[in-house]
Structure 1
């Protein structure tokens, strides 16, 4: 079997582009090989900042032959009365390149037709790869791309070389003047810029000899092991960060971990003030002791070997020292006045042109969070904490520290609030307003923080929808999807019983009252609620809840997210019972007929048939039990009670004519069906469940 290796040599790629680029390459090549009927054993992808590599193992020499059957004229016109081919058949055979023995007849739509049986010989795999690789490279898209050297080709960074080998020979192709060959390049400073590769087996060894580790997983393990070893040697632990590790892995070709010192005086600063410049700006790992306290060390990774490592360490210490000196200056300048003194400065910063300043947002969030607190009937102490944290929530945005290190928003608010003498809950709530910041991030631990976070996020969602710039397609500049998911996650985590409709009403009313914002109130409200429904649907499905179950619970008037989740979980399990097919059919009939009812009023004296009387009486005995179960949130028990109606429902439909000419009788029977349907919808909409 054969192997194929492609290396795309580029100027240094941004680390964040690597993962998505390799995914696009894999998708394109997999689909192309499948389309071209080319089997393979394995496909591998490698990367460094200067190269993207594809290796395909177990390729055949040629693609598989394709047997084709081409439909021709009907048999009736293909042969004359004596059974000889007509001109129509001869023309068809000539066009398909087949002889008389290569044709057959088949019936199609009750008519016999001529079919040509052809075998399309497979092409050389080398030829197909040669044609496909340029198209694959051109197909890759990036968040930002560029042109260079007068080429029409766009790529994240200029392509400097292409290596293309099929076993031990060059598979040459021309990509707008860049000719694929067997030459690669080593490390930019330590390796050769002209390495000739005669066969695929020597590729990885030749690059390692030139200070390039092509396998990113190998680099990642070397970085992690080396950094942890250095931390242990100083009696500490690496403050590990998977995202930072991935980033460093994608910006070095030959990693060498190294450790530097931090001046002890900087350790008096809040922990995050040191960690943020280290991780976000310098890509350094902090070192902590067993109690998670910072030690005076940092660990970073050099893109090279250990030569002159002491000089490199000193250079990094100098750069970090300058950063931390700035942070120290900002911190002590900021705490010269209490945090509340910064609130007025928010009037000078625009949150959004049509939605006012950050001060306006602060006042809205404070009021909205207060309304939510009252709705949840929180205690007086919590109300005070919410009000105070709401007032101070954005104050740190105008401090020197957050102005320089924006990643510290909320964190510095917490620190400065504590420094200003605010209580612990208020200080923590200021930080927690931003949680969760990303998928799987921590959630607020305090009630005040959770409510403030919901208020902050909901204010943004309501305002952006009100001015008509809500998310469309992949565009979501204000991160509204993330913020909606954050609200839902907080509600579920804190088990909060909140009506989404009332929450949205609170937020929109404040915009009208405080900002005098003009918009189509009910249209915007519906758009926001639909937006939340979409997020709930996706989240519940990701949690393993059946799609039709999600549709069933969202098909009700319930808009309490925590309650919806309870119902979904119960219904998801309840549907595992046997014999539900007939039950679902019965309730589908109920729901369909109920839609024709104008009212759910039922007059007992108009019930004349034995079956409708029995259904009415059985339903009356069940209805209260269902409602009691709902009050106790025993949704599975409520469903069991509704299922007990199946027999009477079936007998009713089998023996009673609902749509009779007598209007009073008809409406009375429809009213009974409507009552049953309405009660079912208090639990979920069973008509949405797939009947399996």
Structure 2
């Protein structure tokens, strides 16, 4: 097959989307971070007017610059942007068809829709959808926009954003983009490599931070001036310029966590004003693109014909077919159905056999054995008004009051059938209401929409004019009682007896003739419906794959659970990478494989044994040569990984090569960062913390680092550190935050501390200092020095941010102060270290650049004690015991925890009620003598 050129891909996409009704427009004329920010998207998705458009968009992301060295990362990359407004009903199918048009056959690859809860704070936009992976490589973002410019969208727009460079690399199975043909005989590198190098150098090394801050403010003022004059598009231009300027500052490592939020708030406000001004403008123009036929919603009807049903019990099936659900939502929906289906059947008075729930990324299934064909006839005793309010006249000549007549009418009985009975000390009128059982199909037709609606998710989306919300769009519904279709409609979809097959096979429609045939149909389609069966299959295949190279897979439970919910037909794929990458820190390699790629890393098996014959797809084609080169590497990891394909082993070699290329590119990226970072000692990075704002009122991260160093000296005394530990603590605290401005941590923030430890060792620092740096982010540091660094960090944040007015409110805790409070408590309690929080907070507060009053310190202490109270109650201790102890000695968490444990043991004794008065009398005597009751000598002793 001849290789494609960059130009050909663009032209084929233009032709494809033009033939499907899209306008073909042009890229925007100023820097944008993504095609989303082009007004053809940002503005046009607002309001009711339909809009279908496609265009190429060169997108500038400064922090993705790699000086032209990385095959997959560029500061300027090319997107192909498609907007479909409203949702056409089959956007995924259209997208996959477009891939075929440019030469990608989904049957020959592993194409995966992986959860992406997209948001762009700078323009106040968010949506739900997926990253689309081609053999492990993200090639497209696919999003159902929910909000833009702070405005909720109606109708919802579908955004499809192709990454053209990555697609070209995958199509041509190329190692890098630079030698691929742009058009004619001109390569991509000849067109763009020099500008890639120059812009990378500018963004990372030359751009003046102070100048960029000034430019940002100037652009912000111009945007404001444009809005004051009703100039929507010029104002939007300046929002884009603000966004690009912020990205340069961020790339230079000049934006701290709290300052980032301030920048986003300013840009978000401008974007919101632009969006509202545009909407008002279109309204004044009377929405010229809105045709009359598009103003009314489509009415969908469910057949109301007479239902036929069997008089015998029959199996029942409900299948909710969706576009790919996020892995966590698969588990959530499964758990909800486990409780709600039995409750629903009980509520409907339908007898049944076993209930089974199944869940995959594309279907949620309920199967009920032997569901009764109809409800039983029932009698219900309904309580009415008091008897003296129901009748008038003498016993021999009673007549009914309006209250009694209304009650009888409401319950469908004759007044003469009303009975008087005593209840709760009074006499009341009752009606014996006979309810005739209804056929099960009729009952379920009413109940099933409510069941589907009851399934809730942390994040839900709308997608069509039905206006309902679900995790991802519902595209089909199957509802069968035996052979009978239970008719209902939900989310614009009418139920039937047709399911869909595997995504890799084109999602073919498959008829289910009766509920009891469901499992055979699903099995024949190659789908593993049961979660535990899929998981077991993955574990077996992954273990066998690792055994091929004498290794063991690192089977992380969370990763295994996620991968299980990403596939319907799992097939393990073993791949390899260059052993030279094993020189990278182990945590970098593992984080990259697990977090970014959902791969299972492989490490040496010390007791290597010959395993059973492998079930790994076409394992004979695996290149095992890298294994022979391991003698030169010290790592316990092996240069292999195991991916899990959604589908069979058809063209597994293509899938393997694609995944190997992606991981190689990611490791090259990490290697680039580490090599750049190691040109300097860790200490050399510390001055740059001055460009990283911690919080406007509290200064930079360098200021915070200085406060931590001063506080650490006092904590050393409080924690009884010896001279050597104190020396290590001072050095570790001095270096603790330096890795925050390294390239590796800027790229992968989860490695903060981990890289600090690694770089400290490579800079010649002692093992103790490096360990303390690495432990500062751990819940329970192992060393005293590590604990002191962690406490200095957390106490500084708590005191400073409370004083700055940034205490958590309700469920909002943007600075993670609840986590910081628990991070203070947990290590002290688990290591049983006595520590006076009052004194520590006083010391931390004295170092803050803004006043921290006694009242604020008391608030911080109360906040920490609130977390301590929750921890103790969650551990099973009674709240009154916990409250009593915390009132007396909560300022010392470890001591308070011991006291709660001891007091709980005393309170549980049978003779406690006789012991308590005597103890209380002793306490009163001690207090009257002027002796404190909380002196250590008077504390309870265990045992």
Bin of the TM-score, shorter chain as denominator length: 0.7 to 0.9
2:817 aligned with 1:461, yes or no? no
Q: CA deviation at 1:456?
A: 1.5
1:606-643 CA distances to partner (integer Å, 9 max, x unpaired)? xxxxxxxxx78995699999969953853467xxxxxx
SS across alignment from 1:390: helix
CA contact (8 A) 1:190 1:210 kept: no
1:163-562 paired onto structure 2 within 5 Å? 163-190=478-505, 192-290=507-605, 293-436=636-779, 443-511=780-848, 515=849, 517-518=850-851, 521-562=853-894
The structure with the largest helix share of the pair is 1
1:664-687 deviation line (CA, Å, top 9, x unaligned): xxxxxxxxxxxxxxxxxxxxxxxx
Indicate if the aligned counterparts of 1:277 and 1:323 stay in contact, CA closer than 8 A. yes
On the 8 A contact 1:75/1:105 being kept in 2, the answer is: no
Deviations 1:45-86 (A, max 9, x none): 322221222334454444563522322342486253252331
TM-score (norm 2): 0.59
Matching residue of 1:14? 326
**3-state SS in 2 of match to 1:53:** strand
- Cα deviation 1:198-229 (Å, max 9, x = unaligned): 22222222122222212121111111111011
Cα deviation, residue 119, structure 1: 3.7
Q: Distance between the aligned counterparts of 1:231 and 1:344, measured in 2?
A: 45
2: CA distance between counterparts of 1:575 and 1:275?
A: 49
Aligned pair in 2 of structure 1 residues 306, 633: CA closer, same or farther (>3 Å)?
farther
Deviation at residue 121 of structure 1 after TM alignment? 4.2
With over 3 angstroms needed to count, the CA separation of the structure-2 counterparts of 1:623 and 1:327, relative to structure 1, is same
Q: For each residue in 1:332-370, what CA deviation from the matched residue of structure 2 results, as whole angstroms up to 9, or x when unmatched? A: 221111100000111111223333222122222222333
Cα 1:71–1:146 shift into 2, 3 Å: closer
Q: CA deviation at 1:176?
A: 3.8
Which residue of structure 2 aligns with residue 607 of structure 1?
A: none
Could you report, residue by residue, the CA deviation over 1:529-582 in whole angstroms, capped at 9, with x for unpaired residues? 232222222222232323332233223244211111111112222233213345
Per-residue CA deviation, residues 95-126 of structure 1 (Å, 9 max, x unaligned), is 54334664333346765443333344454443
Alignment of 1:48-197 (within 5 A): 48-57=360-369, 59-63=371-375, 65=378, 67-75=380-388, 78=391, 80-88=393-401, 89=404, 92-99=407-414, 102-107=417-422, 111-190=426-505, 192-197=507-512
**For residues 155 and 91 of structure 1, what CA distance do their matches in structure 2 show?**
42
Q: Distance between the aligned counterparts of 1:480 and 1:58, measured in 2? A: 53
Whether the 8 Å contact between 1:72 and 1:116 is mirrored in structure 2 is no
* C-alpha spacing 1:394/1:90, structure 2 compared with 1 (3 Å): closer
Q: Where is the strand percentage greater, Structure 1 or Structure 2?
A: 2
CA contact (8 A) 1:167 1:200 kept: yes
Determine the structure 2 residue equivalent to 1:595: none
- Alpha-carbon distance between aligned partners in 1 of 2:589 and 2:389, rounded to the nearest angstrom: 88
| TM-superposed deviation, 1:177 | 2.4
The 2-side partners of 1:248 and 1:176 are apart by: 28
Contact map agreement 1:567 1:635 (CA 8 A) in 2 = no
- Structure 1 CA distance, aligned partners of 2:923 and 2:517? 85
User: For structure 1, which segment, 323-332 or 95-104, has the greater mean C-alpha deviation from structure 2 after superposition?
Assistant: 95-104
**8 Å contact 2:331–2:359 — kept in the other structure?**
no
Note the aligned Cα RMSD (angstroms).
3.1
**SS in structure 2 opposite 1:256?**
strand
| Whole-angstrom distance in 1 between the partners of 2:714 and 2:874 | 31
Please give the per-residue CA displacement for 1:446-477, whole angstroms capped at 9, x wherever unaligned: 11111111222222233332223333333222
Shift of 1:526: 3.0
Kindly state the Cα deviation for residue 2 of structure 1 after the two structures are TM-superposed: 4.6
Q: Distance in 2 between matches of 1:220 and 1:409?
A: 32
Task: Give the Cα separation in 2 of the matches to 1:34 and 1:340.
Answer: 67
Offset of residue 28 of structure 1? 4.4
- With over 3 angstroms needed to count, the CA separation of the structure-2 counterparts of 1:617 and 1:112, relative to structure 1, is closer
Structure 1 residues not aligned, in runs of 5+: 437-442, 591-614, 638-692
Contact in 2 for aligned 1:75/1:114 (Cα 8 Å) = no
Structure whose alpha-carbon radius of gyration is higher: 1
Aligned to 2:317: 5
In 2, Cα distance between equivalents of 1:506 and 1:31 = 56
Q: Which stretch of structure 1 is more off in the superposition, 220-229 or 148-157?
A: 148-157
**Following TM superposition, by how much is the alpha carbon of 1:300 offset from its aligned partner in structure 2, in angstroms?**
1.1
The SS at the match of 2:591 is helix
Report the 3-state secondary structure (helix = DSSP H, G, I; strand = E; otherwise coil) of the residue aligned with 2:720: coil
Question: Greater shift after overlay, 462-471 or 422-431?
Answer: 462-471
Alpha carbons of structure 1 residues 182 and 426: separation in structure 2 relative to 1, 3 Å: same
